[in-house]
Amino acid sequence: MKQTARIFAVPPAPVSRLAKISKESTRDKVYAAVRGAILSGRLRCGERVKEIPLAEELGVSRAILREAMQQLVHEGLLEFNPYRGARVIELRPEQIDEIVEARLLLETRAVRLACERIHDAQRDELHALEKQLRKEKDALRAGQLDLRLHQRIWEISGHVTIEKLLRQLTSPLFAMSLLMRSAESRKDQEASPLPRGTHERLVASICEGSPADAAREIETHLTENWTAIRRRVAEFVARQEAEKL
């Protein structure tokens, strides 16, 4: 007895505008489900992903799951080794540097564009998101809100290509940040919250349309946030190497 679709976080039938009739395929749903599992921490970085159990859990065949997994490989969330299975990626500190640098190049452009193209309704939305983020005490949910805020800004920029690239770059970073959060003691977590002030200033700059300010804010925001995480990752792999010996 299969229990299909229980896993899928079924979205409330996204008000199909006439242009977008393309019903999403099973593969897309599986892709979203696995991606969500990684990005919510249910599948942790470095963890082996076995096809049979996961396919059964999702109520689909392995073939479909494998197709979805290929997409995740290309998105940088999974690693494949022939006959040895797939693992969720595990970034090394240098890779984090690279990804953050690339993100900076692209996201700077994105926020500048957002400054030019933002509408009033979107201004309200950004402020609401920022306010919600400021009030959120739970670290995990705060991280997810932070991600949503960024994504919203990319969308507002109207630059689809850059948006896709940023989404791709951010996924593995976010997954690693989850691993760090779960790996470290509760005390450390309290000691390093997200730098809230930068969000406020970033949103403000975009809403008043000051590209230079916005660019500066996004730079400090990214740099501060990820140098902290980079340090933790470095400590983490050092500890891991030590255990190996």
Partner DNA sequence: GATTGTAGTATTGTCGACAATTAGACAATG
Partner DNA sequence: CATTGTCTAATTGTCGACAATACTACAATC
CB-count burial class (<10 Å; 0-12, 13-18, 19+) for 233: buried
Secondary structure letter of residue 48 according to DSSP = E
Contact between 36 and 171 (Cβ < 8 Å): no
User: Nearer Cβ to its own copies, position 27 or 123?
Assistant: 27
Question: Is residue 66 close enough to count as binding DNA by CB under 7 A?
Answer: yes
The closest of 202, 207, 200 to 119, measured between CA atoms, is 207
Tokens of 38: 């990684």
Those residues with Cβ within 8 angstroms of residue 3's Cβ, 6 or more apart along the chain or in another chain: 59
86 binds, among DNA, its own copies, none (CB under 5 to 8 A by kind): DNA
Q: Among 67-75, 130-138, 211-219, 236-244, which window interacts with its own copies (CB under 8 A)?
A: 67-75
Residues 179-238, interacting with its own copies (CB under 8 A) = none
Distance separating alpha carbons of residues 96 and 65, to the nearest angstrom: 28
Pick 99 or 203: Cβ nearer its own copies: 99
Residue span binding its own copies (CB under 8 A) among the ranges 12-20, 41-49, 157-165, 221-229: 157-165
| Separation of alpha carbons 202 and 134, rounded Å | 13
Q: Give me the residues that bind its own copies (CB under 8 A), please.
A: 22-25, 27, 63, 66-68, 70-71, 73-75, 80-82, 95, 98-99, 101-102, 105-106, 109, 159-162, 165, 168-169
Q: Give me the residues that bind DNA (CB under 7 A), please.
A: 4, 23, 25-27, 48-52, 59-64, 66, 80, 82-86
